[in-house]
Amino acid sequence: MKSDIHPDYHEITVVMTDGTTYKTRSCMGAPGDTLRLDIDPKSHPAWTGQQRIVDTGGQIAKFNKKFAGIGTRKA
Band (54; pLDDT cuts 50, 70, 90): low
**Of 4 and 34, which is predicted with more confidence?**
34
Do residues 16 and 23 make contact, with C-beta atoms less than 8 angstroms apart? Answer: no
Do residues 12 and 33 make contact, with C-beta atoms less than 8 angstroms apart? Answer: yes
Report the predicted TM-score, pTM, of the whole model to 2 decimal places: 0.54
Does 47 have pLDDT greater than 70? Answer: no
d(CA 52, CA 15): 21
Band (18; pLDDT cuts 50, 70, 90): confident
Band (26; pLDDT cuts 50, 70, 90): very high
| Domain boundaries, given as residue ranges, for the chain | 10-40+51-66
